[in-house]
Chain A
Amino acid sequence: MKNLAVYLACILILSACKEDEQTADDATLKLSFSHVVGEEPLQLNTARYVNAAGEAYSLSKVRYYISNIRLRNTTTGEVYIEPESYHLVGTESSDVFEISLEKLPIGTYNQLEFAIGVDNSTNTSTDRVGALDPSNDMAWNWNTGYKFLSVEGTYFVTEEESEGLIYHIGGDPNYRKLTYTLGQENLPEVVLSAGNETQVSVRVDVAELFDAPNLVSFQEHAVVMFDPFSEKVADNYASGMFTIDRIK
């Protein structure tokens, strides 16, 4: 009898394992995030960088939330919204990180939007799983929601003296939506066709986090956690840190 049950379970599992047939109206979009510091690929722990203020530093951790991905259809103006759209992008083992969106409606899209951080309604609860699991080292504590961006490393004050470099940015005012208009200049529209995969390559320049519009001095701000300066840092990650450099 037990064998029969196992056999039935096998049939269920095996049929579940079979690739879903591509239906005529679904396509895949891959967002790939490649991390650089200025012109160099990001290297954790070993590489030394110099910020725009001329201060030396290294990085041991770069992580952030990409959330609420949306696409606007060129023809109909309809907006596709990814359900449960929370992705923790981390750079521990490789400098490229991919988010895969599947079963998207086919069509042409001339606007892509995503946010840095976690939106207010979700940010107030840390009893979640997946990317928002509080064991992911991105929940602050039970009261303050998530770190939207967590960058850690070392600030070399002098050759002999160093301090911890900690940028933990969170809080509702620092949730930032980034909107990209496509089909202009050298960025084509996103064309999703049945059974095909389209790739959007996002270049993430960590140097920009400390540069513009607000020039950051580590001497003044080696540690940014809850202070008002967080908003200046959020302004920086909302402008120029994330650029789309290829769509194919």
Chain B
Amino acid sequence: MPLLMLGLYAACNEEKDIDKEPVYDPTPYTLSLPWYFPDGATVPSDNSFTEEGIALGRMLFYEKQLSADKSISCASCHQQEKAFTDGRQFPLGINGGQVNKNTMSLHNLLWVNRLNWDGRDTSLEAQAVGPLTNPLEMGLEDVNEAVLRLQATEIYPPQFFAAFGSDSITAENLLKALAQFERTLISNQSKLDKYWRDEYEPTDLERKGMDLFYTHPEASQGIKGGNCGDCHLGPFTGGATDAFNGFHNNGLDQDNDMEEGLAAHTGNDFDKGKFRAPSLRNIALTAPYMHDGRFNTLEEVLAHYDEHIQMSATLDPLIQEASNAPIQSGEPIRLHLLPEEKEAILAFLHMLTDSTFIEDERFSNPFTP
């Protein structure tokens, strides 16, 4: 409902072009979201959805002129068939450049208010400037370099007029259009979604995996758990969205060889080594895993959480104090999962694959017939 209000409110503030041709008359667009998705989906008040803005954003997302040598677009690293990832440890920028962070999957971004692995950007509009201008990614001098290129085309100025009421392209409107398109990438057709809508009955293995996924083990009470749901919350399986509560140190490294993570952004020692817990939708399609793409398979990820947790000052207490066997002081941290329990958790993770989403025409390359 708030989304609709935003759309209409923006429509209220339209400048009416009475005496100009063509007429600027954008069509408001309303997303429909499933009831079990969390509250807090936000759209900036100055960038409400319009059909025209989304269509333009989709073109820009697939537009190679947005890279310095016109060789790559956003979609080069965010490929739809891989749930908008690239299958690589690190994305391949122009001239073979590589940043040291794994490409993040794009879906259900309306809830993410701390973007990137380290949470440094608070809006998609701001976030896009990073990859566009990073010399290791798309390598533009600044966003205006792309603006000048697009202004010189036949196709783009009218599209910008239709979306924003002016055929003078601006960096702000380019970023707004990209963000509008990205916000429409809603994934809600996985088996888990269908389970929530009473359209799918999980297998025994999936059900067991679901219970393990969402349960924190407590050996003293005989409670078995996989300990995933403490960070990957609810039907959304994403991190908490309030403040930096969705960021965790998940035991990948020890203090002396740990990346800054969230601390690079906040400057707080207690945030060292914390990274965003992303939503696990389509996780089976988005290998490799972790902020640095260090694990190639989901089996490796489970092995990490089961028996390779590294102790450090900022290790999440919910990981430190979790085991399916009694915890002995001074012993290394182990979950003690059985092989069949790992198999069940894997079955649950595969329930999160949304094949409708990766084939949805609305998100595909508009330049290929």
Report which A residues bind B (CB closer than 8 A): 2-3, 6, 9-10, 13-14, 45-46, 60-61, 90, 92-93, 126-127, 129-130, 133-137, 139-143, 152-154, 162-166, 168, 222-223, 225-227
Contact = CB atoms under 8 A, between A and B. Distances in A.
Interface residues on B, range: 35 or more
B11 A10 contact: yes
A60 B270 contact: yes
A166 B317 contact: yes
A13 B196 CA distance: 33
Given A129-B35, A164-B321, A13 B236 contact: no
A90 B223 contact: no
Contact of B5 (A13, A92, A127, A165): A13
A166 B321 contact: yes
A142 B214 contact: yes
Nearest to B111: A135
Contacts of B332: none
Contact of B215 (A90, A141, A168): A141
8 contacts: A46-B270, A127-B36, A137-B233, A152-B317, A152-B318, A164-B321, A227-B220, A227-B221
Given A9-B11, A139-B234, A164 B320 contact: yes
A112 B211 CA distance: 39
Interface in B287-340: 313, 316-318, 320-321, 329
A58 B242 CA distance: 20
B153 interface: no
A134 B27 contact: no
A54 to B, nearest CB: 19
A9 B221 contact: no
Contacts of B12: 6, 9-10, 13-14
Interface string B1-38: 00001001101101000000000010110000001101
B321 A45 contact: no
B352 interface: no
B321 A133 contact: no
Contacts of A152: 317-318
A45 B320 contact: no
Nearest to A12: B8
Contacts of B216: 140, 168, 225
A137 B245 contact: yes
Interface in B206-257: 210-211, 214-216, 218, 220-221, 223, 229-230, 233-236, 238, 240-245
B317 A135 contact: no
**Ranked 8 nearest A-B pairs via Cβ:** A164-B317, A135-B234, A135-B38, A134-B234, A141-B214, A92-B243, A164-B321, A10-B12
Given A130-B39, A164-B317, A141 B211 contact: yes
A164 B216 CA distance: 14
A168 B316 CA distance: 15
A226 B221 contact: yes
Given A226-B221, A226-B223, A227-B221, 11 more contacts: A13-B8, A133-B38, A134-B233, A136-B234, A140-B214, A141-B229, A163-B320, A163-B329, A166-B318, A168-B216, A222-B321
